A and B are shown apart, each in its own frame.
Chain A
Amino acid sequence: MVEVKHVSKTYGSKKVIENLSVDIQPGKITSFIGSNGAGKSTLLSMLSRLISKDEGQVLLHGRDIHSIKPNDLAKELSILKQSNHIDLRIQVRDLISFGRFPYSQGRLTKEDWVEINKAIHYMELEEIQERYIDELSGGQLQRAYIAMIIAQDTDYVMLDEPLNNLDMKHSVQIMKSLRKMVEEMGKTAVIVIHDINFASCYSDRIVALKHGEIVREGPTEEMINSEMLKEVYDMDIPVQLINGERICLHFK
């Protein structure tokens, strides 16, 4: 379990996250939602040790994440940021194989290759695995990054807007693979997501942020309703039950 205890982050004089506490429940998909600038990415980066926090603690299995050896932590928890600029010309396959670095330090074993090929298969990248990443479309590249995270095979997977650049088919594919990873392999996923209906259909829990604070959190079925949406987004959004899913009609 990951516990966030009273964390704060200030940039200059701007409090971006203020005294925030949340428990990430294991074996579930938790979605962070909220409007632009609410602090979702900042929170996710602090959760995954990418940025330092001014106050508070993040505990993984009761241990402060900064006291865990970086290489050990990399086998427990992985993070993919919202935007990634890589100027290197490397092949998709090589990019994904770097996901195994925490295990093999670059000397890939047979086992590593099994994991790499599995990740390639999961993200349907077989046909483009030999391509250089600077020659991919935005969506193909995003899938390659996610495949690297899958190859990293950590119990905790944190993805900041994983559906960036993806078409409908691949968005569904990624959300389905996340569910599969959670249900079949017992992994825990934390994602930042803007598409409220994806959040509604695929996550177990929703954490709603506004101005660096949690305004509401809870199981998805209790969270997705017009009242919550009003509070988080200041919009009147009707919610309808379609095929057993709560669908938010936010286009008009």
Chain B
Amino acid sequence: MDIGGLTSQQQEILLVSRIPRLLSILIAGMSMSVIGFIMQQLSRNKFVSPTTAGTMDSARLGILAALILFPTASMLMKVSIAFVFALAGTFLFMKILDRIKFKDTIFIPLVGLMFGNIVGSLTTFIAYRFDMIQSIGSWLQGDFSMIVKGRYELLYLSIPALILAYFYANRFTIAGMGKDFASNLGLQYKQIVNIGLVIVAFVSSIVLLTVGSLPFLGLIIPNIVSIYQGDHLQKNLLHTALLGALFVLVCDILGRVLIFPYEISIGLTVGVLGSGIFLFLLLRRNAYAS
């Protein structure tokens, strides 16, 4: 096989490293952004995302549990366990949210972050006890440099979940208008919320296990899209997915050229760049509104 006159070594790099890396960037960027949007609609709060609702931390605890209980488990097995934990954690957060009387936009994600931190400390404590801080550490921050052929294919599993999300998009938006609105339109509110949470937990666990966490991505991208196109999820899904993929791609390239030949991890670039853009858009929107 001869691709554009590359040497066989270059071909190998392309197939084993470059293409997997690109694909995983695109899929992870898409997935995290879309599930962020779903979470914001279901929780009716613009600042709730897998990072700010304990989803990621719970998934991480799940990975640790898998590593301790089933040291030889396959990736699929690890994902399943992480998924169960992520689902339980997110569910718990939604229950807490139900109980909170003070539904301030900023307060709720703070509660989510605290909840995430509690789960996180539990993870650290257990990892410390079992001398596994090192292994769990590699799942703390997103990193695409470890992505090679054979280590990212699991990400493909999130594509059917995203397709399912597309079919449920209108239901999520209606649920986002509140329980009574949803009942009036004949929807079973709880069922819709649960389906949404399953999608969120599933995709989060897969991304966490393959590339690690991409903090705040699921918060930044949906908010940007919402500012210029509103919150109609079905209309926005494609935009959100594409913008998310593009954003992670740009962050990855920046991370690789800024301190070449070293690399800044994607988690850091996404966090810094994203929060900057987010702040800018937020201020601009306020200026426009007043």
Please report the total number of A residues contacting B with Cβ < 8 Å.
31
Cα A98 to Cα B173 with chains together (Å):
10
The CA-CA distance from A106 to B180 in the complex, in Å, is 18
Within 8 A of A (CB), among B167-200: 169-171, 173-174, 176-178, 180-181, 183-188
Interchain CA distance A109-B76 in the complex, whole Å: 41
Give the Cβ gap from A155 to chain B, nearest Cβ, in Å. Answer: 14
Partner of B185, one of A69, A84, A152: A152
For residue B103, give the distance in angstroms from its CB to the closest CB of chain A.
10
What is the count of residue pairs linking A and B with beta-carbon distances less than 8 angstroms? 75
* Neighbouring A residues of B41 by C-beta, 8 Å: 88
B92 to chain A, nearest CB (A): 23
Would you list which residues of chain B between 207 and 255 have a CB under 8 Å from chain A? 226, 230-232, 234-235
Q: Which residues of chain B are within 8 angstroms of A142 by Cβ–Cβ distance?
A: none
Contact of A85 among B170, B178, B184 (CB under 8 A): B178
B44 within 8 A of A: yes
B46 contacts the other chain (CB 8 A): yes
Q: How far is the CB of B140 from chain A (nearest CB, A)?
A: 32
B187 to chain A: which residues have CB within 8 Å? 70-71, 101
Interface string of A58-86 (1 = CB under 8 A from B): 00000000000111111100111100111
Name the one of B171, B186, B226 contacting A89, with C-beta atoms under 8 angstroms: B226
With A50-B180, A84-B178 given, is the CB distance from A101 to B232 under 8 Å?
Answer: no
When distances are taken between beta carbons in the complex, the residues of chain B under 8 Å from A105 are 170
Shortest CB-to-CB span from B98 to chain A, Å, is: 16
For B178, list chain A residues within 8 Å (CB).
84-86
Q: A25 to B183: give the CA distance in the assembly, Å.
A: 24
B226 cross-chain contacts in A, Cβ below 8 A? 89
Contacts A84-B178, A86-B177, A101-B170; A91 near B184 (Cβ below 8 A): no
When chains A and B are docked, how far (Å) is the Cα of A73 from the Cα of B174?
A: 17
| Interface residue A48 (Cβ < 8 Å from any Cβ of B) | yes
Task: Say yes or no: B185 contacts A49, CB within 8 Å.
Answer: no
What distance in Å separates the Cβ of B184 from its nearest Cβ neighbour in chain A? 5
Q: Which of B44, B188, B230, B234 contacts A106 (CB 8 A)?
A: B234
Contacts of B232 in A (CB 8 A): 90-91, 94
Evaluate contact between A79 and B184: CB separation under 8 angstroms.
yes
Contacts of A71 in B (CB 8 A): 186-187
Minimum C-beta distance from B159 to chain A (A): 21
Per-position binary interface string of chain A over residues 80-121, scored 1 when its CB falls under 8 Å from any chain B CB and 0 otherwise:
110011111111001000110110011000000000000000
Confirm or deny: A132 has a beta carbon within 8 angstroms of a beta carbon on chain B: yes
Instruction: Provide the bound-state CA to CA distance between A74 and B181, in Å.
Output: 11
Q: Which of B45, B171, B184 has the most CB of A within 10 A?
A: B184
Interface positions of B from 6 to 58, Cβ below 8 Å from A? 41, 44-46
User: How far, in angstroms, from A152 to B232 measured CA to CA in the complex?
Assistant: 19
Cross-interface CB contact of B188 among A70, A94, A99, A102, cutoff 8 Å: A70
Chain B residue contacts of A81, Cβ below 8 A: 180
CB distance from B197 to the nearest CB of A (A): 19
Residues of A within 8 A of B184 (CB): 48, 50, 74, 78-80, 152
CA distance A106 to B232 in the complex (A): 12
* Contacting pair B186 A50 (CB below 8 A): no
Determine the chain A residues whose CB is within 8 A of the CB of B174 once the complex forms: 98, 101
- Which residue of chain A has the shortest Cβ distance to B227 in the bound complex? A89
Q: A98-B174, A101-B170, A132-B230 are in contact. Are A86 and B185 (CB under 8 A)?
A: no
Q: How far is the CB of A248 from chain B (nearest CB, A)?
A: 32
Closest to A77 in B: B184
24 A-B pairs within 8 Å (CB atoms) are namely: A48-B184, A71-B186, A72-B186, A74-B184, A74-B185, A78-B184, A79-B184, A84-B180, A86-B177, A86-B181, A88-B173, A88-B177, A90-B173, A90-B230, A90-B231, A90-B232, A94-B232, A94-B235, A98-B185, A101-B186, A106-B170, A106-B171, A152-B184, A152-B185
Residues of B at the A interface (CB closer than 8 Å) are 41, 44-46, 169-171, 173-174, 176-178, 180-181, 183-188, 226, 230-232, 234-235
> Which residues of A are at the interface with B, using a C-beta cutoff of 8 A?
48-50, 69-75, 78-81, 84-91, 94, 98-99, 101-102, 105-106, 132, 152
